C-alpha cells in the first residue's frame, strides 16, 4: 500500500466560546505551518445558546482554509435533566459519542485519520478512540499550566494515594501545591476540584483522560508560567507520588489568541468613540460570554464606575432566568438593570454594550485597564495587549487564575483594592454584594494610582514576551513545531 504523504487530524472542542475560539486558532496555525496537514473539526451545537451556535454557523459557512473543514453535530431535541452548563456539556458529549465515532470511522475510510486533539471536557474520548481505531489522542488545554498541574495532582491524590480530596477546601491552613510558588488558600480551589460531587462525577474522569493522552498542548508560555511548567517533572516523580501515572509530553504553545472576530457597525462606532479618548484613560469591563450579575450587583458596579469618573466600556449581560438553562443572554433594556439616570449622566463618558470584539478593544491605545472575570483566554489577551487586569473571578478555575495573577505574578489588581488571602472566599462568591466603593477604589488604583502604573510596566514587559514566544524562533513557536513534527513523523511521514 502506498504511504500517504499527508496527515489528517480530527479536532474536537466543547461548545464554549473560550474553548472553541482558541482551538480554531490552533488549527489555523497548524495548517499554515505544515502544508501536508489537514484538519477536520467536529463541532457540537448547544441546545439554546445562540452566541455559540452563531459562531459555529459562521465557521461552517466561511472557508477559512481549504485544508480545514468543519462537521457540525446538532443538539439533541429533548428535555434536559439539569440547568447546569457543565452537566449539559457532559451530557452532550455522552449523547454524541456514537456519532463522533461514526464520523471518525467515515473519515478513516475517506482519507485516514492520524490523531485526534480534544479539549479538557472531551478527554474521555481519547481512550475510546484509541481502543476503537488505535488512533493516538492529544489534549489542547485552554486553561493555565498551573490549573492543569493542580488537577493532575488531585487525580494522583485520589487514585494513587487514596486521599479524600473533598476535605481540602475545609482546611484552615494554606496548601503547598507543586504547581504554585506560594501556599494556596483553600478558598481559591476551583469548585471543579474542591466540590467532591463535581470532581468525582466529571473532572476526575477528565483528569484520567489527560493521562491517556500522548501529549498535552497548553495555551501558555514559559515567561508567564515557568514555575508550573517546571513542576510537571515533580508531579511525574514516583519518589514523590508513589505509583502515580506518568504525565504526557507537555507542549507550551501559547498564547494562542483568536484573531478573526470582525467588527460590525456597532463595534465600529465604539472604536471611533475610543479614538476620541485620551491614551490609557478608559476602563474596560467584560466578564466573558458566561459571566453575568444580578440587578443589585449591576447597580453597585454602575455606581462604582460613575464615582471613579473614568471613561468606560462595559459589556453587560443578563443572568439566566430561574429554572432556565444556565446561559446569560443579551440585555433587552439596559435601563431596567441600571440606576435611575445612569445612562443619561454617563452618555458622554461611557459605552454600555451587549457584545464587543474584546481583542480589538484591548488593543486600543485608549484602554488603560481591564475589569475581568479572569477566564484564561481573557488573561492571555490582556497580557498580549499590555493591559493590566482588575481581577473579579466568578466561576470555574477563575479564583485560581486571579490568585496566580495577583499573588504569584503581580500582574493584576484585585477587588477590593487591598484584601487578605482569606477574602478571596467572599470576593469570588456569587452571593456577596461587592459595594461601589470597593469597585471605585479598584478602578482608580488600576487607572490613575502609582501602584497601578507599576503593574502596567510589568504587564508591558509580559506583552513583549508573549509576542516573542509566537514569533519564529520563540519558545512557544518551537514547541508548536515539535508537536507538528511528532504528528507528521510518528506515523511514517517525513520531518
Residue pLDDT, tens place only, 213-266: 999 999 999 999 999 999 997 766 543 444 446 899 999 999 999 987 667 767
CB 68: neighbour CB atoms within 10 A? 21
Q: What is the pLDDT of residue 134?
A: 95
Q: What is the pLDDT of residue 242?
A: 41
Q: What is the mean pLDDT of residues 450-459?
A: 90
Residue pLDDT, tens place only, 287-297: 998 889 999 99
User: Is residue 416's pLDDT more than 90?
Assistant: no
At 51, is the pLDDT very low, low, confident or very high (cuts 50, 70, 90)? confident
What's the alpha-carbon Rg for the chain, to the nearest Å?
Answer: 22
Q: What is the pLDDT of residue 75?
A: 83
Q: What is the pLDDT of residue 77?
A: 77
Q: What is the mean pLDDT of residues 73-102?
A: 88
Q: What is the mean pLDDT of residues 275-299?
A: 94
User: Is residue 13's pLDDT more than 90?
Assistant: yes
User: Is residue 88's pLDDT more than 80?
Assistant: yes
Give dist(CA 174, CA 422) in Å, integer: 10
Mean pLDDT score of the chain, rounded to an integer? 89
Contact criterion met (CB below 8 Å) for 7 and 491: yes
Residue pLDDT, tens place only, 132-155: 999 999 999 999 999 999 999 999
Distances in whole angstroms, Cα of residue 147 to Cα of each of 128, 152, 233, 376: 25, 9, 15, 10
User: Is residue 207's pLDDT more than 50?
Assistant: yes
Amino acid at each position: 500500500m502506498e504511504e500517504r504523504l499527508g496527515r489528517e487530524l480530527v479536532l474536537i472542542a466543547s461548545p464554549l466560546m473560550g474553548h472553541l475560539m482558541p482551538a480554531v486558532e490552533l488549527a489555523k496555525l497548524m495548517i499554515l505551518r505544515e502544508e501536508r496537514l489537514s484538519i477536520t473539526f467536529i463541532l457540537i451545537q448547544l441546545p439554546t445558546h445562540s452566541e455559540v451556535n452563531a459562531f459555529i454557523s459562521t465557521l461552517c459557512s466561511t472557508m477559512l482554509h481549504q485544508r480545514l473543514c468543519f462537521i457540525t453535530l446538532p443538539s439533541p431535541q429533548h428535555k434536559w435533566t439539569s440547568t447546569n452548563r457543565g452537566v449539559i456539556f457532559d451530557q452532550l458529549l455522552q449523547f454524541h459519542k456514537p456519532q463522533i465515532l461514526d464520523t471518525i470511522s467515515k473519515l478513516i475510510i475517506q482519507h485516514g485519520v492520524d490523531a485526534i486533539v480534544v479539549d479538557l471536557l472531551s478527554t474521555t474520548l481519547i481512550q475510546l478512540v484509541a481502543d476503537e481505531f488505535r488512533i493516538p489522542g492529544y489534549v489542547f488545554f485552554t486553561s493555565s499550566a498551573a490549573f492543569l498541574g493542580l488537577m493532575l495532582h488531585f487525580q494522583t491524590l485520589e487514585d494513587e494515594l487514596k486521599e479524600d480530596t473533598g476535605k481540602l477546601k475545609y482546611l484552615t491552613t494554606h496548601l503547598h501545591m507543586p504547581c504554585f510558588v506560594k501556599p494556596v488558600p483553600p478558598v481559591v480551589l476551583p469548585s471543579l476540584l474542591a466540590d467532591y460531587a463535581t470532581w468525582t462525577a466529571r473532572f476526575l474522569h477528565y483528569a484520567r483522560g489527560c493521562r491517556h493522552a500522548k501529549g498535552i498542548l497548553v495555551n501558555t508560555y514559559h515567561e508567564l508560567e515557568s514555575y508550573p511548567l517546571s513542576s510537571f517533572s515533580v508531579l511525574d516523580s514516583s519518589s514523590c507520588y508513589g505509583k502515580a501515572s506518568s504525565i504526557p509530553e507537555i507542549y507550551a504553545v501559547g498564547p494562542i489568541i483568536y484573531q478573526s472576530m470582525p467588527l460590525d457597525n456597532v463595534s465600529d462606532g465604539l472604536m471611533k468613540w475610543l479614538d476620541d479618548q485620551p491614551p490609557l484613560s478608559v476602563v474596560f469591563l467584560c466578564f466573558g460570554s458566561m459571566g453575568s450579575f444580578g440587578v443589585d450587583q449591576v447597580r453597585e458596579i454602575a455606581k462604582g464606575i460613575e464615582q471613579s469618573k473614568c471613561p468606560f466600556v462595559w459589556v453587560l449581560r443578563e443572568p439566566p432566568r430561574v429554572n432556565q438553562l444556565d446561559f446569560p443572554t443579551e440585555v433587552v433594556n439596559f435601563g431596567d438593570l441600571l440606576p435611575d439616570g445612569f445612562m443619561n449622566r454617563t452618555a458622554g463618558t461611557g459605552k454600555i454594550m451587549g457584545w464587543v470584539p474584546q481583542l480589538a478593544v484591548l488593543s486600543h491605545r485608549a484602554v488603560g485597564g481591564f475589569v475581568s472575570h479572569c477566564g484564561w483566554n481573557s488573561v492571555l489577551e490582556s497580557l498580549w495587549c499590555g493591559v493590566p487586569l482588575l481581577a473579579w473571578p466568578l466561576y470555574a478555575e477563575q479564583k485560581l487564575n486571579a490568585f496566580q495573577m495577583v499573588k504569584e505574578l503581580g500582574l493584576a489588581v484585585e477587588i477590593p483594592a487591598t484584601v487578605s488571602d482569606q477574602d478571596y472566599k467572599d470576593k469570588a462568591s456569587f452571593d456577596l454584594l461587592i459595594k461601589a466603593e470597593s469597585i471605585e477604589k479598584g478602578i482608580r488604583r488600576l487607572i490613575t494610582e502609582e501602584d497601578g502604573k507599576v503593574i502596567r510596566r510589568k504587564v508591558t514587559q509580559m506583552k513583549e514576551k508573549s509576542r516573542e514566544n509566537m514569533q519564529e524562533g520563540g519558545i512557544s513557536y518551537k514547541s508548536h513545531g515539535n508537536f507538528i513534527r511528532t504528528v507528521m513523523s510518528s506515523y511514517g511521514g517525513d520531518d
